[in-house]
Amino acid sequence: MKVLVLSAHSDDQVLGLGGTIAKHSKQGDKVVTVVYSAGEKSPVWTLKKEKLITQRMQETINADKILGVKKTIFLKYPDVKLQKFQNELNEKTLKIIREYKPEKIYVHHKKDLHPDHMAVWKACEYSLKKIKNTPEIYGYEVNSWFSPFTQQAELVVDITKEYKKKLRAIKCYKTQRYLLFFLNPLLKLRGFHYSSIYGFKYAEAFYTY
């Protein structure tokens, strides 16, 4: 199976569905991730812009390698400004989907409040209207203040066996250690939320479209 993961920022896919990616890879599925922003707005003031972008890309490659991702595509658009390039994002996303012909696409869910995440969702939505064979679409949550708990997930994946691998991948993001200090408690809270409902120790939730 071919799986495409669309991520506004380099760590979104690991936070939102790192366990599910690892599970796909274990099953022999070919996973390709697309990172839209360059990540130059990260809270690492000691690094120059060019070096920060290069380091964030390498962190993503390292994390994806742990999860078993076959290929990582970097579009390198300005961080927190993706909506200004919406038309370009639309066409590039369409081109990637047509090239890789995925059977499943994971993308930021359409109610995510982060403007960059919204831009990626809109690019995916635009592309789906242009292709004939529509793949399965799953909206994922990023564990941050921009993704509040929603009413009910259509799909919940048990990632208990993959959870340690997800944590290893998260630790690859050295430049994000300040943000992850605050995000990790939310990650655990979300895991507890789903475990209390569905009975899994660790889980990731998705919304179908």
Between 208 and 96, the higher pLDDT residue:
96
pLDDT value, residue 177? 72
pLDDT value, residue 3? 98
User: Cβ distance 135 to 103 under 8 Å?
Assistant: yes
In the predicted structure, residue 181 carries a pLDDT above the cut 70: no
Give pLDDT tens digits for 103-114: 999 999 998 889
Q: How far apart are CA 20 and CA 13, in angstroms?
A: 10
In the predicted structure, residue 44 carries a pLDDT above the cut 60: no
In the predicted structure, residue 74 carries a pLDDT above the cut 80: yes
pLDDT value, residue 183? 65
Residue 65 carries which side chain, given as an amino acid letter? K
Concatenated DSSP letters for 35-104? EEE--TTSS-TTS-HHHHHHHHHHHHHHHHHHHT-SEEEEEEEPTT-GGGGHHHHHHHHHHHHHHH--SE
Q: How far apart are CA 121 and CA 112, in angstroms?
A: 9
Question: How does residue 50 score in pLDDT terms, banded at 50, 70 and 90?
Answer: confident
* Structural domains of the chain, with CATH: 2-208 (3.40.50.10320)
pLDDT value, residue 198? 80
In the predicted structure, residue 49 carries a pLDDT above the cut 60: yes
Mean pLDDT of the chain: 88
- Of 14-18, 125-129, 155-159, 184-188, the poorest mean pLDDT is in 184-188
pLDDT value, residue 60? 96
Q: In terms of pTM, does the model score above 0.85?
A: yes
